[in-house]
Structure 1
Amino acid sequence: MSSTLEVTLPRPEIAVLTLNRPDKLNALSYELVEALHDALDAAGNDNTVRVVVMTGAGRGFCSGLDLSAPNPDEAGGGTEFPRSGMRWQERIAELTAKIHRLRQPVIAAVNGVAYGGGFGIAAACDIRVASPSARFCTQFIKLGLGGCDIGVSYTLPRIVGAGTAFDLILTARAVDADEALRLGLISRVTETPVDEAMSIAETLCDFGKFGVESTKQVLWANLEASSLEAALHLENRSQILASTSGEMREAAAKVLRKS
């Protein structure tokens, strides 16, 4: 595994991915992007891992693309750049899709800045908690680019609503942890975001594996549901499948023992 990403398993069911370029506020280099792809693939293929936690080493979560590091395909220049640039763009953006597709819930523990690509990665996660020092900014439009990148035009309106998403993406204004909490961009503010994320992860590990994974899938799928009836149909199928997994009987017995 690359030194730019630290992967730990504090318990077998929880994988913690720590972006490890603290001197660059964990900016996304080619090496880090590839390491994230590898780690997410490994987590997705590991039947023991139930929850993934993402955080950053040092003072930041992720400050976005490392502008001091060239596109790895850029050296050719000239007419080759649009094609090679698109390959690199798609590789970074695929991180959002990979987090979204992952069967396990992904929790972002945001410490310090989550700017640009870091904002996009955090927004792709299923749950976000943050330290009081956290700052969130889309940033892309300030760099002379379009404001929509790494999935934020999809994820952000679904998290905070279209009106607030237009504001944050078009103005690229930074919001602190308190405002992020008011907007619904994050769900908790805590001095120890990794500990809080671990606590949430441990709670999820107490629930049935199928139930947790299907809940993530149904929630995301029903954001696109064409009607209440379609959403109910997907929920009903998920519940019947969960009831046949054996986990329901175990959970019900546990509840009865406590009552």
Structure 2
Amino acid sequence: MTQAISTASQSAQATQPIDSAKPWHCIQVTRDGDVEWLSLSRPDNFNALNLALTQELYDYFGSLPDRQDVRVVVMRGLGRHFCAGYDLEDVDQLTVSLDQGLRLQRQLSAVVLRMRRCPQPIVGLLQGAACGGGFALALGCDVRFAAPNARMNVAMAKIGLTGCDMGISYFLPRAVGPAIAAELMYTGRFVNAERALRIGLVNDVVPEDKLAETAKELVQEMLAMSPVGLRLTKDGLAMAQETSNLATVMALEDRGQAMCFEAFMKEGVAAFREKRAPNYGASR
């Protein structure tokens, strides 16, 4: 959990913050139809994680399972970097005592757990540093697009900690295989955008000023799925990665399909035959 510096710039999308009962200070949440754009908003600190930012991310992702109005989340960092890791100005909070350190560490990890447990797909847009805890946040996203200047690493390995943190030891070998994961986790070695694409860490590398546009295009395709179908697909994909039992996975798939038959399939088939966009709102 450390900061990394690179020379990068980002063009932020101009949208208006949504009204919220709880004001955010370290994140910005903007609305575009059924999509929310979540921006880490500590650009002067390279969006490094501190106690306040961690709490707001924990609260935001914890609210999503009960929100039917949000179907997809796009996550990004304002300024030059996605997230440079844990703010070293806050590191003393982790070393007060074993009890406090473990409590704060578990809250950091719980952010990623909540990202994976929320039913909305999360699209991550990476520029500049995505290091340490920022790398963990990126791995917690379902899809990742990177700018050419993106640099990622398991930064914890370089400051006396283990390379196993915030789910990295779970997600990284599943993304790139155990050998490359071992290389990165044992050394803290940086991965640039080109290699990240080659080894499967990111879905694509696009110019920084095209990140938002690329996300919008993908999100529109996601929104063409039925609301419940999209949520159950994320749930099913996650469960399939966590079990090696084919029968269990198929039982979950069967349940999800049956739940969508009556509610959405008739409209989906009609729209396909008529070569039009489906109106799943009318079929709920």
TM bin (shorter chain): over 0.9
Q: Cα deviations across residues 193-219 of structure 1 (Å, max 9, x unaligned)? A: 222122212221121011111111111
Matches within 5 A, 1:82-161: 82-161=98-177
Q: CA separation in 2, counterparts of 1:232 and 1:40?
A: 28
Q: Answer yes or no: is the 8 Å Cα contact 1:128–1:186 preserved in 2.
A: yes
2: CA distance, partners of 1:136 / 1:70:
21
Task: Give the equivalent residue in structure 1 for 2:84.
Answer: 63
Q: Report the alpha carbon displacement of residue 249 of structure 1 after superposing the two structures with TM.
A: 1.3
Q: Is the 8 A contact 1:15 1:43 kept in 2?
A: no
Which amino acid is 2:24 matched to? S
Distance 2:253 2:266 in 1: 19
Say if 2:64 and 2:119, in contact at 8 Å, map to a contact too: no
Match for residue 230 of structure 1 among 231, 248, 272: 248
Instruction: Call closer, same or farther: CA 1:256–1:119 in 2, change over 3 Å.
Output: same
Tell me which residue corresponds to 1:16.
37
Unmatched 5+ stretches in structure 2: 1-22, 277-284
Paired AA for residue 193 in structure 1: L
SS in structure 2 at match of 1:109: strand
Offset at residue 156 of structure 1 (A): 1.0
Cα shift readout 1:206-238 (whole Å, capped 9, x = no counterpart)? 210111111111111111233333322222222
Partners of 2:254 and 2:47 lie apart in 1 by 42
Deviation at 1:257, TM superposition (A): 0.2
Structure 1 residues 164 and 39: alpha-carbon distance in aligned structure 2, compared to 1, 3 A threshold: same
Cα offset, 1:71, TM superposition: 4.8
**Contact 1:7–1:39 (CA under 8 A) maintained in structure 2:** no
Structure 1 stretches (4+) deviating beyond 4 angstroms? Answer: 70-74
Q: Does 1:2 align with 2:24?
A: yes
Q: Secondary structure at the match of 1:47?
A: coil
Equivalence for 2:259: 241
What is the aligned partner in structure 1 of residue 268 from structure 2? 251
Percentage of matched positions with identical amino acids: 35
**Who is 2:279 aligned against?**
none
Give the conservation status (yes or no) of the 8 Å contact 1:5–1:20.
yes
The aligned residue for residue 5 of structure 2 is none
Question: Which stretch shows the higher mean deviation, 219-228 or 135-144?
Answer: 219-228
- Classify 1:73/1:181 alpha carbon distance in 2 versus 1 (closer, same or farther; 3 Å): closer
1:178 aligns with 2:199: no
- Which one of the candidate residues 210, 213, 216 is aligned to 2:228? 210
Residue 43 of structure 1 and its aligned partner are, at CA, apart by 2.9
Separation in 2, partners of 1:201, 1:116? 27
Task: Give, in whole Å, the separation in 2 of the partners of 1:72 and 1:174.
Answer: 27
Report the TM-score, using the length of structure 2 for normalisation: 0.85
1:27 aligns with 2:64: no
Aligned length: 252
- For the Cα contact (< 8 Å) 1:2–1:31, is it kept in 2? no
User: SS of the counterpart of 1:223?
Assistant: helix
- d(CA) in 2 for partners of 1:38 and 1:114? 22
CA RMSD in angstroms comes to 1.5
* Alignment-derived partner of residue 15 in structure 2: none
